[in-house]
Structure 1
Amino acid sequence: MGQKILLEHANVPGIKTYEVYRQHGGYRSVEKALKSMTPDEVVEEVKTSGLRGRGGAGFPTGMKWSFIDKKSGKPRHLVCNADESEPGTFKDRYLMEYIPHLLIEGMITSSYALGCNQSYIYIRGEYMWVYRILETAIKEAYAAGWLGKNILGTGYDLDLAVHCGGGAYICGEETALIESLEGKRGNPRIKPPFPAISGLWQNPTVVNNVESIAVVPWIVNNTGAEYAKIGIGRSTGTKLISASGHCKNPGVYEIELGLSVDEFMNSDEYLGGMMDDRPLKALIPGGSSVPILPAHLIFKNAEGGDRLMSYESLSEGGFASGSMLGSGGFIVYNDTTCVVRNTWNFSRFYHHESCGQCSPCREGTGWMEKVLHRIETGHGREEDIDLLWDIQRKIEGNTICPLGDAAAWPVAAAIRHFREEFEYHVRFPEKIKDKDHFVHEPFEKVRHLVAKQTV
């Protein structure tokens, strides 16, 4: 096992309580930052660490912090994005449920660095039990003097509140989240202006993911240079991975970035290989919005090099032969998986979650869902496959926020890598109409049947 930063004390009995968390070094970063560091020095440590946003975009956190407007004189805000609605991703929930004070400590230290006196945790509506855990932990932090007026006698004030969202995937986008936090419909804003200039109530605002904020205490305590030693290249530090699907050991894992996909997938320390020892068919490494990878591209990239669990390695080859680390939602599929059915399921989700503000997304996601359903149920036409390709191409890059891309990429990758399976559905509808059709012939046989009929 590699180094553990976020989950180091995850199995300590009672770690979610203030007393136990404090006994294991909790809130030391707040003491260090407020008593011996300037806000700019904290920002520089985060820059030095190379920490990249763990919500999916992978943008350098320290650089994002440096963009916040410090000259306008307006109040500044730090907002923690705890919406976590990406299918296949559940690592933020784990952190908040079992180690809530780690996030709160990170919020205090990060708020100090940014000069914020009012900060928020925006949590998805379905996480109501986690919301209550955070509320309890925040009350404990106030009672112990870590929140409120004149923290540690330093003159620094900070109030922290948790806001429960309405259960909308679109509110994972930072400007839609801000709109929702203001009490409005969660529609993404056109940028610029960016939140760092005009965010919550038109004040300078930074929005960061739970995991990104929770690692700040370790960076402050141990220095950014030490954090940068972990990982590989520009993918520094550790990353939480939410593993699900047809693997033997699903769950939340903390890995050092740069671990090989092969080791993560097959080592007994991690996923332990395929459930029931069935063949691996495909993998989605970063949540439902990133491209699916077929088995032959999972452990080796297009050039034959080892595929690593890092931002750069997983994206090698572009979307033609690569994917993205994304939010770390690692979904494993064995040979019984119907890629068409899986893609249709994702398209249903994105159609339902589209805010409807942009025509390409509002209309296109619905069209993709309908066409995929037609193919999946044995009523597809040969031209439907090219129609799907054309629809996703016209959605990608043509919307205010990335939800359009998130809806288009899974469809494009499924057709790119598994076109024969779509053709199989169209040409052999009698084979896929029974209720268990997703357990059909192995993909190699599907390819053979399609190729034979084409000839």
Structure 2
Amino acid sequence: MGRKLLIEHINVPGINTLEVYRQKGGYRAVEKALKTMSPDDVVEEVKKSGLRGRGGAGFPTGMKWSFLAKPEGVPRYLVCNADESEPGTFKDRHLMTYIPHALIEGMIISSYALGANVSYIYVRGEMMPQIRILEKAIAEAKNAGFLGKNILGSGYDLELYVQPGGGAYICGEETALIESLEGKRGNPRIKPPFPAIAGLYNCPTVVNNVESIAATVPIINDGGEEYAKIGVGRSTGTKLISASGNINKPGVYEIELGVPVEEFIYSDEYCGGIANGKRLKAVVAGGSSVPILPANLVMKTANGENRLMTYESLADGGFATGTMMGSGGFIVFDEDQCIVRNTWNFSRFYHHESCGQCSPCREGTGWMEKVLHRLEYGHGKLSDIDLLVDVSKKIEGNTICPLGDAAAWPVASAIRHFRDEFEWHVKEPMKSQSTNYGLANYAKPIEKAVAAEEK
């Protein structure tokens, strides 16, 4: 059993309340930080831990904090990005629902480290139950003296607010989130200037993910060096993974970084294997915005080494044979899943969620959705496949924010690894749509379709 630093007590009755959370050691890290450490000490511990952003980018958190500008007389802000809306990702929602005080404790520690006296938790608008849970937990913490003026007699003041978001995927991008928090349309800003210089209300701002902020609690409790001992190489600590798809045990799992992908999929401790005894076909390892990998490349790298649940191992080989850890949205496809249909579904999402600010993304996502739609419904041409690759290349790297890349990568990788399936949709349009095949045999690769026909 791997160590659990964030959700060890998630099944304890009443852990969502301040009383039970404190019985399990809650707010000790706040007391330690405010009473025995300076803000710079806290930043240094986070640097030692090797903690990397858990929202998708994987940038070292302590380094990000050190970039924060500190002009005299200008307020600084910490904003928690709880606008979790990546398809396949639900671990932040899980944490906020069941252990809200873990996030609040992390917000206090992080705000103290950054010198922020006002901080915000920006929560996706659809998550109203979680918003109410957080508001109740904040009230409990404030009544207990962990928020407000002169916290624990330390002289440090902090007000913490929950802000419902606009229900837009684009607001998960930090500058679009800041725009939305200011009451504007959630369009990404051109960078530079970066939020660390000119963020919320044009003041120095740090935006961190829910899990990243909650992870500061065990880092302060145990020390950055102890945290860094967990994991492999530069992938330190634990990671929350949202596991879904064709598996026996979907849910949120906390893993020590470095667990083999094969173990994560097939062990009873985690996903419990492929549902209904089917074979594994493909995996999206980090949410819908990362490249999809076929079964052979999920288990092994191109060099034949075991693929590990780490930032480096998942990315091994670049996008030709690798993928990304991303937000940890681990989606498993069994042998009967249609890659074309699932890719079209992802493209529909990104077309719908594009803010429309950049022409390559605004127009490109729309065209990818249209072309994939006609392939899926039997009206495609072989030239459409290369057209999709060409459009994805024209989007990638040519937009203000990463949404364009997020839309392009799944399409390009699906064609790279499953081109035969795309071609089968063109060559056998009636078979790919035939109800005689049934959903169990829907849109299999060419060789499987031929075998089924011969029977």
Secondary structure (helix, strand or coil) at the match of 1:29 reads helix
Match for residue 275 of structure 2?
A: 275
Instruction: Measure, in 1, the Cα distance between the counterparts of 2:186 and 2:86.
Output: 16
**Contact 2:292–2:413 (8 Å) recurs in 1:** yes
**Contact 2:420–2:446 (8 Å) recurs in 1:** no
Instruction: Measure, in 2, the Cα distance between the counterparts of 1:73 and 1:340.
Output: 55
Q: In the TM superposition, what is the alpha-carbon distance from 1:296 to its structure 2 partner?
A: 0.9
The one-character-per-residue Cα deviations of 1:18-39 (angstroms, maximum 9, x if unpaired) are 1111111111111111111000
Match for residue 105 of structure 2?
A: 105
Instruction: Measure, in 2, the Cα distance between the counterparts of 1:45 and 1:288.
Output: 33
Instruction: Measure, in 2, the Cα distance between the counterparts of 1:54 and 1:128.
Output: 23
Percentage identity across aligned positions?
A: 73
1:313 aligns with 2:313: yes
**Contact 2:291–2:323 (8 Å) recurs in 1:** yes
Q: In the TM superposition, what is the alpha-carbon distance from 1:154 to its structure 2 partner?
A: 1.2
Q: In the TM superposition, what is the alpha-carbon distance from 1:448 to its structure 2 partner?
A: 6.8
Q: Which amino acid aligns with 1:130?
A: Q
Secondary structure (helix, strand or coil) at the match of 1:298 reads helix
User: Residues 99-248 of structure 1 correspond to what in structure 2 (within 5 A)?
Assistant: 99-248=99-248
Match for residue 90 of structure 1?
A: 90
**Contact 1:421–1:446 (8 Å) recurs in 2:** no
**Contact 2:315–2:324 (8 Å) recurs in 1:** yes
The one-character-per-residue Cα deviations of 1:337-392 (angstroms, maximum 9, x if unpaired) are 00000000000000000000000000000000000000000000111001101000
1:408 aligns with 2:408: yes
Q: 5+ residue gaps in structure 1?
A: 450-455
Secondary structure (helix, strand or coil) at the match of 2:281 reads strand
Match for residue 369 of structure 1?
A: 369
**Contact 2:39–2:114 (8 Å) recurs in 1:** yes
1:324 aligns with 2:312: no
Q: In the TM superposition, what is the alpha-carbon distance from 1:439 to its structure 2 partner?
A: 2.7
Match for residue 298 of structure 1?
A: 298
Q: In the TM superposition, what is the alpha-carbon distance from 1:226 to its structure 2 partner?
A: 0.2
Instruction: Measure, in 2, the Cα distance between the counterparts of 1:75 and 1:53.
Output: 24
Instruction: Measure, in 2, the Cα distance between the counterparts of 1:106 and 1:31.
Output: 12
Instruction: Measure, in 1, the Cα distance between the counterparts of 2:10 and 2:93.
Output: 13
Q: In the TM superposition, what is the alpha-carbon distance from 1:221 to its structure 2 partner?
A: 1.0
Match for residue 52 of structure 2?
A: 52
| TM-score w.r.t. length of structure 2 | 0.97
After superposition, the Cα gap between the structure-2 partners of 1:18 and 1:374, relative to the gap in structure 1 and judged at 3 Å, is same
Instruction: Measure, in 1, the Cα distance between the counterparts of 2:450 and 2:207.
Output: 50
Secondary structure (helix, strand or coil) at the match of 2:283 reads strand
Q: Which amino acid aligns with 1:319?
A: F
Q: Structure 1 stretch 70-79 or stretch 199-208: which is displaced more?
A: 70-79
Match for residue 440 of structure 1?
A: 442
Q: In the TM superposition, what is the alpha-carbon distance from 1:441 to its structure 2 partner?
A: 6.2
Instruction: Measure, in 2, the Cα distance between the counterparts of 1:16 and 1:230.
Output: 27
After superposition, the Cα gap between the structure-2 partners of 1:18 and 1:35, relative to the gap in structure 1 and judged at 3 Å, is same
After superposition, the Cα gap between the structure-2 partners of 1:438 and 1:382, relative to the gap in structure 1 and judged at 3 Å, is farther
User: Residues 19-38 of structure 1 correspond to what in structure 2 (within 5 A)?
Assistant: 19-38=19-38
After superposition, the Cα gap between the structure-2 partners of 1:437 and 1:378, relative to the gap in structure 1 and judged at 3 Å, is farther
Match for residue 259 of structure 2?
A: 259
Instruction: Measure, in 1, the Cα distance between the counterparts of 2:386 and 2:316.
Output: 26
1:349 aligns with 2:346: no
**Contact 1:431–1:437 (8 Å) recurs in 2:** no
Instruction: Measure, in 2, the Cα distance between the counterparts of 1:257 and 1:437.
Output: 36
Q: In the TM superposition, what is the alpha-carbon distance from 1:53 to its structure 2 partner?
A: 0.1
Instruction: Measure, in 2, the Cα distance between the counterparts of 1:73 and 1:294.
Output: 54
Secondary structure (helix, strand or coil) at the match of 2:101 reads helix
Secondary structure (helix, strand or coil) at the match of 2:345 reads helix
Match for residue 389 of structure 1?
A: 389
Q: In the TM superposition, what is the alpha-carbon distance from 1:142 to its structure 2 partner?
A: 0.8
**Contact 1:421–1:447 (8 Å) recurs in 2:** no
Q: How many residues align?
A: 449
Secondary structure (helix, strand or coil) at the match of 1:362 reads helix
Q: In the TM superposition, what is the alpha-carbon distance from 1:442 to its structure 2 partner?
A: 4.4
Instruction: Measure, in 1, the Cα distance between the counterparts of 2:62 and 2:311.
Output: 17
Secondary structure (helix, strand or coil) at the match of 1:19 reads helix
**Contact 1:10–1:98 (8 Å) recurs in 2:** yes
**Contact 1:378–1:426 (8 Å) recurs in 2:** yes
Q: Which amino acid aligns with 1:347?
A: S
**Contact 2:9–2:15 (8 Å) recurs in 1:** yes
Secondary structure (helix, strand or coil) at the match of 1:161 reads strand
RMSD (Å), alpha carbons: 1.2
Q: Which amino acid aligns with 1:159?
A: E
Q: In the TM superposition, what is the alpha-carbon distance from 1:72 to its structure 2 partner?
A: 4.3
Q: In the TM superposition, what is the alpha-carbon distance from 1:443 to its structure 2 partner?
A: 3.1
